[in-house]
Structures are given as C-alpha cells and as structure tokens.
Amino acid sequence: MYIICARHGQILPDFPPPFPTLMLSLIPQRRPGRTRPSSASVVSRSTSSSDSSGLSDSPAAARRASDLIDEDIKREAARQQAQRKKEVKVMLLGQAESGKSTLRKQFQLYHASHTLEAERPSWRIVVYANLIKAVRAILEELDYEFSSASDEYYPLEEGGVDPGGPGAVPTDAAAQNEVIELRRKLLPLISLEGSLTSEVSAGVDFVGPGVRIDGGPGLKLPPWSKKTGSRLGSRPVEELRQSSTAQVATNRAAQVLGSTAHVIEALWRHRCVEAVIRLRKLRLDESGVFFLGQVRRIAETEYIPSTEDILHVRLQTVGVIEHSMMVNTLGGIYTWKIYDVGGARSQRPAWCSYFDDVNALIFLAPISAFDQFLEEDPLTNRIHDSLQLLVSICTNKLLKDAQLVLLLNKIDMLRKKLEAGVQIRQYITSYASRPNNFSTAAEYFRSHFLAAHRKTDVFQRRLYVHLTTMLDIQATQIIITSAGDLIMRKHIAQTGLA
Ligand SMILES: Nc1nc2c(ncn2[C@@H]2O[C@H](COP(=O)(O)OP(=O)(O)O)[C@@H](O)[C@H]2O)c(=O)[nH]1
Ligand SMILES: [Mg+2]
C-alpha cells in the first residue's frame, strides 16, 4: 500500500510492514517510587533490632537474626504479591489525539463517576481555552486570506463585489470590513488565551502547537506527571480548583465571553468562515467546532461543563499520568491503575518504563485520520504512524504478558468525511477503486491493523478489535465492560485469585 503525502505530493512507503525500525526506544527502566523488598534495607532493620534485643555474635544468634530477615522478606513478598493480585494495570496507548484521555474519562465516568462530578467545575477553564483557541485560529486564517488578496484593489464602500466568484473565499471590501469589526470586538477575549492556557498548564503551553518535551535519557516531565491521582489533563484538578489565579482567569473569561457570545456566533456564521473551512480546508480541533456550536450555553453565567463538554475537551497530556479507581467486578474489588500517556513522538520514550508489569494495553488508532499528518512530522500519514506504533508494541518483549485491545476510533468522523466526499485513495493509493463508503473503509483499515499484528506479534496473542466513537457514552461503556471482563479473566487466570 502506498500513501501519498498530499501536502508534499510525495509517495510514502507501503504499509503494513516492512516497518524497518521500532519507533520506541525500549530501555527497561524502573520508574521511581517502586518499593520492591530490598534485602539491604531489611538487613539493616533486622540488625538494629538484634542489637537492641541484646543478641550476641554467637552462631545461634546469627542464625536467629538470619531467620528474622528471611521471615521479614517472606512477609513483605507475600504482602506485595497479594497487592499485585488485587491490582490491574492498564495502559492507554496511541498517537496524539487518538482519544486516549477521552477513554480515560469514560473509565472514570463508568467506575468513579463521583470523581468526575467533583471535577466538573474545574473543566470550565479548559472549555473556555478551547473555544478561544478556535476563534483565534479562524481570525488568523481570515487575516491570511485577506492579506494574500491585498495586492489587488477592492473599493472599500459597502457592497463591494466578490472578485473570486463562488469558488473563492470572499475577500471583497464588505466581507473584510465585517471581519475587521468582529475581530475588534473579539480582541478582549482573544487576549485572555495566554493567561488561560498558562493556568491550565502551569507554564507548559498546551493549547498552542508547541508542547514539546524532550525524549530520551534527559526526558523532562512536569513535576505532577508521575504522581498518582486524578488529573485534569496534565495539571492536577485539585491544583486548578485551589488556585486563586486560575479562579480569577476563569471568572474574567466568563465575564468577557458573556458579552461577546453573540459576536462569536456572528463570526462562526460568517460567509468567509464557511468558505475557508470548505475551500482552504481550515482544520479546527473537534473540540473547537463543538464549542463554537454551543457558545450561547457556554457563555451563560452559571455555566458548568456537561459530561458531553468534558468528553469533547482537548487538552494535551504530558508525560504518563496514573489514575486509580476501584472496580467491583467478577466477585471482587480491584484497584485499576490506568496510565494515560502523551502520544506525540517526543513523549513516547517515557512509556516503556511502565511496560514491565502491565496487564493490558488498550491501543487507540483514529481511522478517520487517513487524510491527516502528524503535527510533529508533517510527512507522516497518521494511519501509517498508528500502524508502526502498533507493530512496535507487538514486538516489545516487555509486553509479552499484556493483553492487547485495539480500538479503531473516531468512526463518527470517518463516516462524516466519507459522506462529505473525501476520497481515501487520494491519500492511500492502494485503496484503489474500492467503494468510498463507510463499511468498505472500516473493513479495509481493520484488516490492515489485524495483518500488522498477525505478521509481527511474536507472542501470538489474540487481538481484540472494536470500532469506536469515544464520545458515545453508551457504546463506549459497553466496550469498557467487555474489555474489562477480558482483562479481569486473564488477570484472575494468571494470579489464581477471584
Ligand atoms: N469526533 C470524535 N472526537 C473524538 C473521539 N475520540 C476523541 N475525540 C476528540 O478528540 C480530541 C482528542 O482526544 P484526546 O482523548 O484528548 O486524545 P489523546 O491525545 O489521545 O489523549 C478531543 O477533543 C476528543 O473530544 C471520537 O471517537 N470521535
Ligand atoms: Mg491525552
């Protein structure tokens, strides 16, 4: 299969395999904070106790001390084994924007909805940031359109003609004047974006294109990224809720949004915006499009994000974030540790230090992304990247005992793109003359992912595959239940505990 890089007109190599290189550098490395019994620490404890009990250096005393040490080690090992049996570790993997954090929220909704409920008000600042980012992106695109057309002369009075006709973005004087006016009214709102994003990220730029954390040995992660608990994107929810500056920024944005909601609506409905989306393929984040359509509700004074809003929010995950939840299943209560990871290439080296004792991997591949390229590498088609990533997981020895679940996600978007007439063969030449409809496309992608797994999984594990829309609560909860059952059955079979 060949993939054409539409933006660069370049033909990229076939997929699935050859897959010449693994994309993850797999350095088996223990994460800090693990407490396996260390004989050194036990010895020092026991020695001091023997001293205090007055035991002498005789052979009998030495044997007694040694027995105490052995007992200590056994007790600790038994305690840790029992704990491991009651602990299930699940990693959510996939490229950036594949839906990992959305799935994590769905887990939270299903198994610990009270925690999501408590976080609800804290998501407000992120909704505002997503909305303002979309408004800014639209205005920047229109600026670019108008400045490209500015070499030509248009009369500046009302009703100037559209020089480009129906197939062009209107750049007539009337359109330009309208947009200039809208922009003027929206400037106070746009100027808040910086403060909102720096509150949400505590200094790391999440909303702009450039969250970049170096991979490799010097991998730098924000201080909160390895702590346990409930996180809002990458900054802990508790921090946001307790931060008075975050409160101030949220309230200020709410106030400005209240007075500019009608202007945002007018911009969103403007003929130039429809034209840049259709003709220039302006790509707004899914979250931005959703919130632009809901701006009146979001701008209400008493606005609290709904569950749907929380699922739509886009907040880039940085590092590896552990979320613990109690799961009552198959006759027992288990602690599920769900690891949500940053999916950009620069963040992938951080994953492998969590691989060694993971029970299951849920791999998300957004199959609607056949016409998109990686933000961090505009030459790589996103489906190609997902396939390579899956292969690197299938061949990773540290993961040999992990159960694999593959979610081919964003099928709602795949359906929409195909209905809008986007042709898969323009991006993936080997799609050839197959019908450009949903069922053929879904089966085509499914078979390629299955083939990539079949050809490369040296451990011959079964791969469970589902077509998903992470925003669909009911459908996702069914997937969570069935994947959860599978994972638990294997865990119980391995540990012999129910
Ligand atoms: N339309 C649609 N959007 C989705 C789906 N899954 C996730 N999203 C959206 O895609 C964006 C990125 O999702 P996120 O979970 O943050 O991706 P991550 O980078 O893999 O964690 C968010 O705005 C989600 O609301 C889906 O199945 N369909
Ligand atoms: Mg994420």
Query: How many A from CA of 233 to the centre of ligand 2?
Result: 7
Q: Is the CB of residue 43 less than 8 Å from the CB of residue 73?
A: no
For residue 54, the model assigns a pLDDT of 46
**pLDDT in tens for each of the 498 residues of the chain?**
444 444 343 444 434 443 333 333 333 334 444 333 333 333 333 334 444 444 456 888 889 999 999 998 988 887 777 766 689 999 999 999 999 999 999 999 999 999 999 999 999 999 999 999 999 999 999 988 888 776 554 444 444 444 455 567 887 888 889 999 999 999 999 999 999 988 887 655 433 333 222 223 333 334 444 433 333 345 666 677 778 899 999 999 999 999 999 999 999 999 999 888 888 778 888 899 999 999 999 999 999 999 999 999 998 888 898 999 998 877 788 999 999 999 999 999 999 999 988 999 999 999 999 999 999 999 999 999 999 999 999 999 999 999 999 999 999 999 999 999 999 999 999 999 999 999 999 999 999 999 999 999 989 999 999 999 999 999 999 999 999 888 988 888 877 655
Per DSSP, the residues of 384-444 read HHHHHHHHHHHT-GGGTT-EEEEEEE-HHHHHHHHHTT--GGGTBGGGTTS--SHHHHHHH
User: Measuring from atom 24 of ligand 1, which residue has the nearest CA?
Assistant: 312
Residue 116's contacts (CB-CB under 8 Å, 6 or more residues apart) are 105, 108, 109, 307, 310
| Nearest ligand 1 atom, CA 311 | 25
In the beta sheet, which residues pair with residue 91? 339, 361
Q: What is the Å distance from ligand 1's center to 456 Cα? A: 28
Name the residue ranges covered by the structural domains of the chain: 3-13+88-98+343-495, 121-312
Q: Which ligand 1 atom is the nearest neighbour of the CA of 314?
A: 23
Helix, strand, or coil here: 105?
Answer: helix
121-312 has the same fold as 3-13+88-98+343-495: no
In one-letter notation, the amino acid at residue 374 is L
Look-up: residue for tokens 């699940």? 90
In 3D, which of 242, 219, 210, 464 has the Cα closest to residue 347? 219
Does the pTM surpass 0.85? The reply is: no
372 annotated among ligand-binding-site residues: no
| Residue 459 Cα to ligand 2 middle (Å) | 28
Instruction: Please tell me whether 317 is known to bind a ligand.
Output: yes
Contacts of 220 (CB under 8 A, 6+ apart): 213, 214
Cβ atoms of 234 and 224 within 8 Å: the answer is: yes
Question: Which residue is it, tokens 């992990």?
Answer: 402
Closest residue by CA, ligand 1 atom 19: 97
Distance 342 CA to ligand 2 centre (A): 6
The verdict on whether residue 485 carries a ligand-binding annotation is no
Q: Of all protein residues, whose CA lies closest to atom 28 belonging to ligand 1? A: 410
pLDDT at 328: 84
3-state secondary structure of 482: helix
> For residues 415-440, b (16+ Cβ closer than 10 Å) or e, as one string?
bebbeeebebeebbeebeeeebebee
* Residue 177 is assigned to a ligand binding site: no
C-alpha 391/C-alpha 457 separation (Å) is 8
Q: 150 CB contacts (<8 Å, ≥6 apart)?
A: none
> H helices within 221-318, ranges in order?
237-242, 244-269, 271-279, 286-292, 295-298, 307-312
Token digits of residue 396: 């990773």
pLDDT the model gives residue 203? 53
Domain 3-13+88-98+343-495 is classified in which CATH homologous superfamily? P-loop containing nucleotide triphosphate hydrolases (3.40.50.300)
Structure tokens at 471: 């925003």
Burial of 246 (0-12, 13-18, 19+ CB in 10 A): buried
CA–CA distance, 489 with 407 (Å, rounded to integer): 19
Name the residue type at position 149. Answer: A
Give which of 282, 227, 197 is closest to 33, Cα–Cα. 227
Q: Give the C-alpha separation, 226 to 216, whole Å.
A: 17
The CB density around residue 255, as the number of other CB atoms within 10 Å, is 14
- Distance between CA atoms of 403 and 361, rounded to whole angstroms? 6
The reply to whether 316 sits in an annotated binding site is yes
Which atom of ligand 1 lies nearest, measured to the CA of 410?
Answer: 27
CA distance 193 to 257: 12
Residues in contact with ligand 1 by the CB-under-6-Å rule are: 94, 96-102, 286-287, 311-312, 314, 317, 343, 409-410, 412-413, 469-471
Cα–ligand 2 centroid distance for 315 (angstroms)? 7
CA 289 vs CA 113, 131, 218, 259, 265: distances in Å: 26, 8, 37, 20, 12
Is 151 annotated as ligand-binding? Answer: no
> Any binding-site annotation on 410?
yes
Where does residue 148 rank: exposed (0-12), middle (13-18), buried (19+ CB within 10 A)? Answer: exposed
Measured between alpha carbons, how far is 80 from 86 in angstroms, rounded to an integer?
A: 10
Under CATH, what is the fold of the domain 121-312? GI Alpha 1, domain 2-like (1.10.400)
Instruction: Name the residue with the closest Cα to ligand 1, atom 12.
Output: 97
Mutation test of ligand 1: which of 102, 313, 414, 419 has the most ligand atoms closer than 8 Å to its C-beta?
102
Q: What is the predicted pLDDT for the residue at 38?
A: 37
Q: Buried (b) or exposed (e) across 454-477, using 16+ Cβ within 10 A?
A: eebbeeebebbbbbbbbbeeebbe
Question: What was the pLDDT predicted at 22?
Answer: 33
CA distance 480 to 333: 16
CA distance 3 to 380: 9
Atom of ligand 1 nearest to the CA of 313: 23
Buried b (16+ CB within 10 A) or exposed e, 132-144: bbbbbebbebbee
- 134 CA to centre of ligand 1 in angstroms: 16
Question: Among 470, 473, 476, 480, which residue has the most ligand 1 atoms within 8 Å of its CB, making it the best to mutate?
Answer: 470
